[in-house]
Amino acid sequence: MKNENRLLMQGISKQYPGCKANDDIELQIKHGEIHALLGENGAGKSTLMKILYGVVKPDQGEILWNGRVASINEPADARALGIGMVFQHFSLFESLTIAENIALALGEQAGQPATLASRIKATSEQYGMPLDPERRISTLSTGERQRVEIVRCLLLDIQLLILDEPTSVLTPQEVQALFKTLRQLKQQGCSVLFISHKLHEVAELCDSATILRAGKVSGHCSPKQETPEAMARMMVGDDTPISNDKQRAQLSDGIDDFVSVSELSTTPEGLFDIALQNINLSVKPGEIVGIAGVAGNGQEELLKALSGEQTNAKSSAIRFGNQVVDAMSPLKRRRLGLAFVPEDRLGRGAVPEMDLCQNALLTSFDHGLVGKGLFDKGILKQNKIKALANKIIDKYKVKAAGNHSQAVSLSGGNLQKFIIGREIEQAPKFLLMSHPTWGVDIGAQVAIHQAIIKLRDQGCAVLVISEDLDELYKICDRLGAICDGKLSPFLPTDEVPLPLLGRWMAGDFGLPRAAPSAAHVSDGKVVPLPTKPQTSSGASL
């Protein structure tokens, strides 16, 4: 007789120094079921999934697979059972091509290179995630890398597909294509474990859910029978705010731009880089400007041009205040007031093996901190550095064992809060952010958005580049889009209906012929906006 459970994890516990990540957890998933695993960052979800996938060994507990005890000592064991996983932080070799990365995962199932390339093309196009098998991972955007991870799992003969924040960098159309794929897998008897902070997606897709809080199972529910607000409350308890009022900036006339970009064009450095074409952009002190777009349309190149990763001594297109910065290094731009939160937390936002004290100094060592006592005749004062790290940890509610914790030991959301806190504490004049709440839980989203808005209200110019349209509509004062290296016009956010933004993202940069039918995104749906800005509340999804 067929066991009704595809997977049963029972009594799972895992202790780390200073933290019990999993405490007697039970998780069961049925055949042909889409099951959600919910919880705040640091609730124990990632550890539980690493145990299931053979990356981490539990201290206690057992795993039953199709009714039989399974020994999963490494990812190869999990894949042999039929378990595929897409991690939130990608496990790809940057120097290899897409096909070579997928071949490593498939092993003997990969077949001949030409055959594998054809399978990759066919599968990726079938599910609306087109990929060129010969492209190197180093040339891909974050969204494109996630496509590789998903397609790699789809090519395996899997019985359980684990997806950790799979829609964080997908467009609404790509999300629906993915959901169609997951429903097809369900109909074929495959089980899906779906980890997401987007509760409207969970309610739309999932059959059941297990909720974790502080390493323990705090409840179960049927997402289709619960509101997103109710599920959020089960995740975070009654003490954490889950609403996020919209607060548009009220700018006075005559304020000069702090950031101005005029006719910026770039030459691609790599074969697959996007050339920026006549970019015009401005950000005033005290406003948040947002840029939407599908991954790989020039966002990375624009970020490099603004942050100083890519300089051009022959250009004078970018100004901070009254100074041309095209030829300036990132350090010199920081001295003019730049702070930068990149999309890649581990590697670009923080050094994984460094502790939080060292990571706090990475960008703040030169930003006026001499006067705060961090240096004495060229010698770092460790007590002051620790105090800075502790301030960021406490103020931004970063869950960590202490300031000695390595960056890699933090959950994605907690590391993101630390990086954002580090940048905000420098009191920047210009905050440049890419995907600020990618993979971040509800409570952390609210905290990050509030910190950004507070900084804006203190007179900082903020530019946010994100593929999360809900986030952009929530916090931005003006909104535009990027497509194929070109920027659309920018309009006040409340005057940009979703269909118009969608056309801009597709490269149709026309303005509405009449007053726009105002709309925005809420819980993944288009709803009308009031004619005058007002606050609204609801779960930050």
* Measured distance CA(522)–CA(172) in Å, rounded: 12
Beta carbons within 10 angstroms of residue 24's beta carbon: 14
Cα 342 off chain centre by? 10
Sheet containing strand 60-65, edge to edge, reads 19-30, 5-16, 60-65, 68-70
Q: Are strands 160-164 and 19-30 parallel, antiparallel or unpaired?
A: unpaired
- DSSP for 170-239 reads --HHHHHHHHHHHHHHHHTT-EEEEE-S-HHHHHHH-SEEEEEETTEEEEEE-GGGS-HHHHHHHHH-SS
**3 state DSSP class of 338:** strand
pTM of the model: 0.68
Q: Among candidates 474, 477, 479, which has minimal Cα distance to 537?
A: 474
Provide the sign of the torsion angle of the four alpha carbons 18, 23, 28, 34, taken in this order.
Answer: negative
Burial of 250 by CB count in 10 Å (0-12 exposed, 13-18 middle, 19+ buried)? exposed
* Measured distance CA(342)–CA(420) in Å, rounded: 10
Give me 487's structure tokens: 């920027």
Instruction: Set out the domains of the chain in order of their start, with CATH numbers.
Output: 5-236 (3.40.50.300), 259-337+428-528 (3.40.50.300)
Query: Each residue's pLDDT tens digit in the chain (541 positions)?
Result: 467 899 999 999 999 887 889 999 999 999 999 999 998 877 889 899 999 999 999 999 999 999 999 999 999 899 889 998 887 667 889 899 999 999 998 887 888 999 999 999 998 887 777 899 999 998 887 668 878 988 888 888 789 999 988 876 666 667 787 888 899 889 989 999 999 888 888 999 999 999 998 899 988 999 999 888 788 888 877 656 555 567 788 887 778 999 999 999 998 877 667 899 999 999 999 999 999 987 778 999 999 999 999 999 999 999 999 899 999 999 999 999 999 999 888 888 999 999 999 999 888 777 654 445 566 667 777 888 899 999 999 988 898 889 999 999 988 778 998 999 999 998 999 999 998 987 677 777 888 888 899 999 999 999 999 988 888 999 999 999 999 899 999 999 999 998 888 889 888 898 775 444 444 444 434 343 333 333 332 333 3
- Give the largest CA-CA distance in the chain: 76
Helix axes 98-106 and 113-126, enclosed angle (nearest 10): 100
Q: For residue 322, what are the contacts with CB-CB under 8 A and spacing of at least 6?
A: none
Where is 123: in which H helix or E strand? helix 113-126
Task: Please report the pLDDT score of residue 31 as a whole number.
Answer: 95
- The C-alpha angle with vertex 417 and arms to 414 and 421, in degrees rounded to 5, equals 145
Task: Please report the pLDDT score of residue 453 as a whole number.
Answer: 93
| Single-letter amino acid, residue 503 | R
* Measured distance CA(430)–CA(286) in Å, rounded: 10
* Measured distance CA(171)–CA(310) in Å, rounded: 27
